[in-house]
Amino acid sequence: MLLKNKYKVFFTIIFIPLNYQFIYAHNVYTRGNFTPKEYAFFGALGIIILSFFLIVLISLNYQLRIAKEKLNESRQRFSDVTNAAEEVVWEIGKDSKFNYVSKKVEKVLGYSPIELMEISIYDILKGEDRDKFQNEMLKIAKSNGKFYKKRYRFIHKKNYEIWLQISGVVINDENNKYIGFRGVSSDITREYYQERKLYFLARSDALTGLMNRRFFIEQARKSFKKSKMEHEDFSFAMVDIDYFKNINDKYGHDVGDKVLKDLAVIMKGILKDDYLLGRLGGEEFAYAFPKTGVKSAKEIILNLQNKINEFTFKINDEKINITVSVGISYLNDESDELSTLSKGADIALYDVKNGGRNKIKIQKK
């Protein structure tokens, strides 16, 4: 309709002057001021001018048609690409409401594009991730930058949590002012939980779920250095199950494993604040007690021993009671590295093993 109106205006601009020219020439000729040749000349000139404008009009019409076809092709191409892509393509305005979402979103979030066009992105972000998203997007908008592989938790239409990885750019208007964002999102929920599982397995003991030896030593070393630098107390304890080999020999390794798992639960029960606990291997465990003097550490271990002595491990129809021996060392002027404390606690533990077991010894140096 708009194009037709433009044509009407165009023809009016052309024909009105030409019409007046012919009328003027006719009036002049009838009054005898023009000869027939001159009259014919002006008529031919008018036809030439009219033909020129018609050619221009036809050319413009052709160019408009070609441009419209290319625009439709471009739109179709964009639609095909966005619908075929694994990622969700989206655009949000300054008000954080969706201006565009590709059809893929229905597979990822359960909402249709039409449903999302009526809400804000904050309506589907989970809890604290709303503030995280808002703060990060404000920083990016101010810097007129882009963001890459940001991770946020969203709520599916069926009310369960999914993880999306988002990349995008800032949208600016003709005055280079921020008006929104556009980008792509992909569902990484499965990958995220696989990463978490691998993270846990790499740092945890497979049997007890405690820190494994490598990760425990790594974290205890960091804690030791921090305590030494800030002149705070730090204690280290090594715990070993008494006569554990007899349990494995008498009841089998499956029973031994059950005892280790149950013992780990008891040992975790005394953890608080920044305390660390790990399984070093076999029946040997270790604690790191930052901000804890040796007297307090001994009281904690005495409490642990009492809990273990009172606990009966039930294996099928069997009831098993165990005890533990403990060696403790602590941070002093001669402690340069965590390994110094570890060796000291190990020496103290060895002395307890040779001196009757089910006891605690503090290695002073």
Q: Is 160 helix (H, G, I), strand (E, B) or coil?
A: coil
pTM for this one? 0.63
pLDDT of residue 3: 45
Residue 272 to residues 11, 289, 311, Cα–Cα distance (Å): 88, 9, 21
Residue 208 to residues 4, 239, 282, 364, Cα–Cα distance (Å): 80, 15, 11, 31
Of 85-99, 197-211, 285-299, the one with minimum mean pLDDT is 85-99
**Residue found by looking up tokens 């409490």 in the block:** 303
pLDDT(74) > 70: no
Q: How far apart are CA 214 and CA 233, in angstroms?
A: 23
- Name the percent of the chain lying above pLDDT 90: 54
Is the distance from CB of 268 to CB of 214 less than 8 angstroms? Answer: no
Q: How many CA atoms lie within 13 A of 204 on its CB side?
A: 12
pLDDT(360) > 50: yes
Is the distance from CB of 207 to CB of 261 less than 8 angstroms? Answer: yes
Angle at 33 between CA 28 and CA 38, to 5 degrees: 85
Instruction: Provide mean pLDDT across the span 238-263.
Output: 93
Q: How far apart are CA 82 and CA 26, in angstroms?
A: 64
Instruction: Provide mean pLDDT across the span 306-331.
Output: 91
Q: How many CA atoms lie within 13 A of 118 on its CB side?
A: 4
User: 210 phi and psi, to 5 degrees?
Assistant: -75, 170
Q: How far apart are CA 260 and CA 284, in angstroms?
A: 10
Residue 135, strand partner residues: none
Q: Which of 109, 112, 105 lies closest to 83, judged by CA? A: 105
- Would you state the structure tokens that stand for residue 24, as one six-digit string? 């003027």
Could you write out the DSSP letters of every residue in 182-210? Answer: EEEEEE-HHHHHHHHHHHHHHHB-TTT-S
- Tell me the per-residue pLDDT of 149-185, one tens digit each, with 9 for 90 and over: 999 999 999 999 999 999 999 988 888 888 899 899 9
Instruction: Provide mean pLDDT across the span 353-365.
Output: 87
Residue 73 pLDDT level (bands cut at 50, 70, 90) = low
Residue 2 pLDDT level (bands cut at 50, 70, 90) = very low
Of 55-59, 105-109, 260-264, 347-351, the one with minimum mean pLDDT is 55-59
Instruction: Provide mean pLDDT across the span 341-352.
Output: 94
Instruction: Provide mean pLDDT across the span 353-360.
Output: 90
pLDDT of residue 27: 58
Cα-trace Rg, the chain = 41
- Tell me the per-residue pLDDT of 6-46, one tens digit each, with 9 for 90 and over: 445 444 545 555 555 555 555 555 555 556 666 667 667 77
Sign of CA dihedral 52, 55, 61, 67: negative
Sign of CA dihedral 185, 190, 191, 197: positive
pLDDT of residue 63: 77
pLDDT of residue 301: 96
pLDDT of residue 181: 92
Residue 242 to residues 253, 286, 333, 348, 349, Cα–Cα distance (Å): 16, 15, 32, 15, 11
Q: What is the mean pLDDT of the chain?
A: 85
- Tell me the per-residue pLDDT of 286-315, one tens digit each, with 9 for 90 and over: 999 999 999 999 999 999 999 999 999 887
- Tell me the per-residue pLDDT of 183-195, one tens digit each, with 9 for 90 and over: 999 999 999 999 9
pLDDT of residue 187: 93
Q: How far apart are CA 100 and CA 234, in angstroms?
A: 57
Pairing relationship of beta strands 88-93 and 146-155 according to DSSP bridges: unpaired
pLDDT of residue 220: 96
pLDDT(209) > 80: yes
Instruction: Provide mean pLDDT across the span 320-325.
Output: 94
H-type alpha helices, the chain: 2-30, 36-84, 105-109, 113-116, 129-143, 189-203, 213-229, 244-251, 253-268, 294-310, 338-354
pLDDT of residue 54: 79
Is the distance from CB of 327 to CB of 352 less than 8 angstroms? Answer: yes
Stronger pLDDT, 76 or 273, i.e. the higher one: 273
- Would you state the structure tokens that stand for residue 231, as one six-digit string? 């002149």
| Identity of the residue numbered 87 | E
- Name the percent of the chain lying above pLDDT 70: 83
Instruction: Provide mean pLDDT across the span 95-103.
Output: 89
pLDDT of residue 346: 95
